[in-house]
Amino acid sequence: MGFGISVKELKTTLPSMQDEVQSAASSAGAFAFERNAILLDIDGTLLDLAPTPAGVLVPSSLQSALLTLWKWTGGAVALVSGRTLEDIDRIFAPVKLPAIGGHGAEIKPGVAGRETIVRPLPLLDERMRWRILELAAPGILIEDKGYSIALHYRQAPERGPALRKAVSLLTSEFAAGTYEILPGKEVIEIKPTGFNKGSAVLELMEMEPFRGRAPIFVGDDVTDEAVFAILPEIGGHGFSVGRVIPGASGTFAEPADVRRWLEALASRAPE
């Protein structure tokens, strides 16, 4: 299946610090609503980071744009996140989109009659969970997701180096290849190996309404690199946020630019 919009055309729709949103709107009509799918990371990509994961804000204009794009792509818009599906639905309520949660541990295709897929994956070892809880300190928020556990240190960035060292030593106590450390923006996450966002996207793209479409993925963090790596296999293209990521065809400056691009794209949807 061909890519509904050329890389050259798509790049002209990507706002950056120098480009105006009007430029995006003028080119967004080249997007093929019937042939493309849109896959979006959440934190640091769609939404600005907040002091705590629960503190993120979803603008009503973004909700409206996502709903319009979901409608005119036939449902082929999905959120791809380290958050759980329950948490994704909570922060985007009342909009409920197809989604990949838990870095690929959960998949919700968003098709009527198709149940959410929860992979039979190993949960964190209880010894690991309790050892991580021992790292609790002022300014460090520990988020237990079941399949993984994250240590947020946005409120105490000076603790980052010591925390990374402690987590590395902790995981080394277990058999090699048992756990994976996912560094992020003032967060460190630990999860069992064997699944990631990339493997989950491959699975999602075999499901309706995503099957046979060319995906456009936007992500910003280390955990999104697994998706960029598999995009060539499925005829997709990726765009990073805030930094250049290997495999990305272009870069947005910040989440606000991604939101404006989506709004411009939605504004060109058929009436």
Show the domains of the chain with their CATH numbers.
7-119+195-267 (3.40.50.1000), 126-192 (3.30.70)
For 268, the token pair is 């060109």
Each residue's pLDDT tens digit, 139-195? 999 998 888 899 999 999 999 999 999 999 999 988 888 899 988 889 999 988 888
Q: Which positions are annotated as active-site residues?
A: 41
Neighbouring CB atoms inside 10 A of 239's CB total 23
Each residue's pLDDT tens digit, 200-234? 999 999 999 999 999 999 999 999 999 999 999 99
Mean pLDDT of the chain, nearest integer: 85
Each residue's pLDDT tens digit, 25-62? 334 345 789 999 999 999 999 999 988 888 999 999 99
